């Protein structure tokens, strides 16, 4: 396993080539091409601003004035996460012709899915940063922004760990693709993206001296800590207070990545027969 893990770094040129191919294929045939990477999040932000400012004004304390920006801070990384997992789960099945080639490293396919969607996340960030600079009453400060690359790195390693597991298991259990969509929908509503985390951390029954159920739900949800970190850095005024949870999640993400790669490495010999 360790040898294969080290060889993954040696495939960086192949990974780069496949990521570029994936990005070009996504907009092949469209007139605007890569401009859609900027236009899509801009149109989405305009729609959310209209809906939650005019049609359904937000009533959440602390975010009511700029609810669309608050929503965008969590929705962009969530889109990266869900798109990467969905594409990773189907990466081996969709590239069966490559998997059947003896020398092709199958592990690069989920890596490509995660990286390609990360590029789209980065392309959407300028729209968010411009909107924050223009409309936020408290634009993010320099000190808080120093934590931003750390949050992106933690999300990357966590997403890659999940992606490797899903890619390996979906080859043997095709139902995972259908279950994943429903699970991600449930996960989305269990994550403080539509609502601030403070709204649920004090709610729910407390049994036997344990914290309220809402806080327990936030604590055990790994993406909740990712979303809260982005929101604290980009939207809320004040110091970045979620850094301890982020560091803990970084350790958990590394462990998940190693476990995912170990599972992938163990099942790799069966991929060619199953795809």
pLDDT > 80? residue 77: yes
Report residue 249's pLDDT band, with 50, 70 and 90 as the boundaries: very high
Mean pLDDT estimate for the chain: 84
Average pLDDT over residues 92-120: 86
Q: Quick one: pLDDT at residue 25?
A: 79
Q: CA angle, corner 95, sides to 35 and 166, nearest 5? A: 90
- pLDDT tens digits, 109-141: 999 999 999 998 998 898 888 888 888 767 787
Contact predicate 214/204, CB 8 Å: yes
Average pLDDT over residues 46-58: 70
Please give the model's pTM, rounded to 2 decimal places. Answer: 0.89
| Residues 6 or more apart whose Cβ sits within 8 Å of residue 127 | 38, 41, 42, 45
Average pLDDT over residues 174-198: 88
């Amino acid at each position: 396993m360790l040898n294969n893990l080290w060889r993954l770094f040696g495939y960086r040129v192949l990974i780069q080539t496949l990521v570029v191919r994936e990005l070009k294929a996504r907009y092949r045939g469209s007139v605007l091409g890569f401009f859609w990477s900027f236009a899509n999040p801009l149109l989405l932000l305009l729609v959310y601003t209209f809906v939650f400012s005019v049609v359904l004004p937000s009533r959440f304390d602390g975010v009511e004035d700029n609810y669309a920006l608050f929503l965008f801070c969590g929705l962009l990384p969530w889109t990266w996460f869900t798109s990467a997992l969905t594409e990773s789960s189907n990466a081996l099945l969709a590239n069966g012709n490559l998997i059947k080639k003896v020398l092709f490293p199958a592990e690069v396919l989920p890596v490509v899915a995660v990286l390609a969607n990360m590029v789209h996340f980065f392309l959407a960030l300028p729209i968010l940063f411009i909107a924050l600079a223009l409309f936020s009453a408290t634009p993010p400060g320099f000190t808080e922004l120093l934590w931003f690359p750390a949050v992106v790195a933690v999300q990357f390693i966590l997403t890659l760990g999940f992606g490797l597991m899903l890619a390996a298991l979906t080859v043997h259990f095709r139902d995972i693709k259908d279950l994943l969509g429903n699970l991600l929908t449930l996960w989305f509503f269990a994550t403080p993206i539509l609502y601030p985390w403070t709204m649920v951390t004090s709610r729910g029954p407390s049994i036997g001296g344990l914290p309220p159920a809402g806080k327990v739900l936030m604590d055990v949800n790994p993406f909740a800590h990712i979303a809260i970190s982005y929101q604290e850095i980009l939207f809320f005024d004040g110091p970045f207070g979620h850094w301890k949870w982020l560091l803990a999640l970084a350790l958990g993400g590394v462990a998940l990545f190693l476990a995912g790669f170990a599972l992938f490495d163990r099942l790799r010999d069966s991929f060619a027969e199953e795809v």
